């Protein structure tokens, strides 16, 4: 039994292994270090440029195959409009909570470009680099798999937000899968982050 177990030859998919290790290390580096005065610039480097390097130089593939395209743009834009309309009243209520105000009010300066820098690479990382790699091996189960590190990366933010991210991450993943693009989850996420900060800071009344 033991000989059979330990004598089994590992047969790992090298791209799955690479993306899993690289993405985990990038999340940890982001947590422990800041390299520039602007965290958004750091995250653009970590979550956009480095994954693109692996796709282009290591994998020798086209970024379009990882969602770096407009994809099915009509479906994507319709989903963005619906998402914004549905989420706005919920966000208005949630963002007025004390925990959300304490966390997000100091982030008012620099909108909307700080949230753009912060989230463009972030969405490509989860809904492009990780998702489209995992889809090839795990099929639609990749929608949940990419949502797990996304949720864990929110630890430290207000609890009500963090608890929702496993489901939000799945929905964002589904939208990227449906449109073949990370752009539309990014646009919704950009709206959510900017709107929450504005409401939490009292800038919208």
Q: What is the mean pLDDT of each run of 10 residues along the chain (205 residues)?
A: 64 96 98 94 97 98 98 98 97 95 92 94 98 98 98 96 97 98 98 96 83
Number of domains in the chain: 1
Collect contacts of 87-90 with beta carbons under 8 A, ≥24 apart.
87/188, 87/191, 87/192, 88/195
Task: Look at residue 154 and tell me if it is in a domain.
Answer: yes
Task: Look at residue 153 and tell me if it is in a domain.
Answer: yes
Task: Look at residue 205 and tell me if it is in a domain.
Answer: no
Collect contacts of 7-15 with beta carbons under 8 A, ≥24 apart.
13/137, 15/59, 15/133, 15/136
Task: Look at residue 120 and tell me if it is in a domain.
Answer: yes
Task: Look at residue 3 and tell me if it is in a domain.
Answer: no
Residue carrying the six token digits 């919208």: 204
Task: Look at residue 4 and tell me if it is in a domain.
Answer: no
Neighbours of 161 (CB within 10 A): 19
Task: Look at residue 5 and tell me if it is in a domain.
Answer: no
pLDDT given at position 122: 97
Collect contacts of 82-88 with beta carbons under 8 A, ≥24 apart.
83/188, 83/191, 84/188, 84/191, 87/188, 87/191, 87/192, 88/195
- Domain range for 111 is 13-200
Whether the predicted model's global pTM rises above the 0.75 cut: yes
Task: Look at residue 7 and tell me if it is in a domain.
Answer: no
pLDDT given at position 10: 86
164, HSE (Cβ side, Cα atoms, 13 Å)? 12
């Amino acid at each position: 039994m033991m000989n059979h177990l330990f004598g089994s030859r590992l047969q790992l998919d090298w791209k799955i292994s690479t993306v899993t290790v690289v993405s985990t290390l990038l999340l940890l580096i982001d947590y422990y270090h800041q390299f520039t005065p602007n965290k958004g610039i750091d995250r653009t480097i970590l979550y956009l440029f480095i994954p693109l390097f692996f796709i282009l130089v290591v994998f020798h593939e086209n970024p379009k195959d990882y969602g770096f395209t407009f994809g099915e743009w009509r479906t994507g834009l319709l989903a963005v409009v619906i998402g914004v309309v549905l989420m706005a009243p919920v966000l208005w209520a949630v963002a007025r909570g004390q925990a959300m105000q304490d966390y997000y009010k100091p982030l008012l300066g620099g909108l909307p470009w700080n949230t753009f820098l912060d989230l463009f690479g972030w969405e490509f990382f989860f809904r492009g680099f990780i998702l489209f790699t995992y889809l090839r091996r795990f099929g639609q189960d990749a929608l949940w798999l990419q949502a797990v590190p996304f949720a864990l990366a929110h630890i430290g933010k207000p609890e009500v937000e963090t608890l929702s991210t496993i489901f939000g991450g799945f929905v964002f993943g589904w939208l990227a899968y449906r449109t073949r693009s990370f752009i539309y989850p990014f646009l919704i996420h950009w709206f959510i982050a900017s709107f929450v900060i504005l409401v939490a800071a009292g800038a919208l009344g």
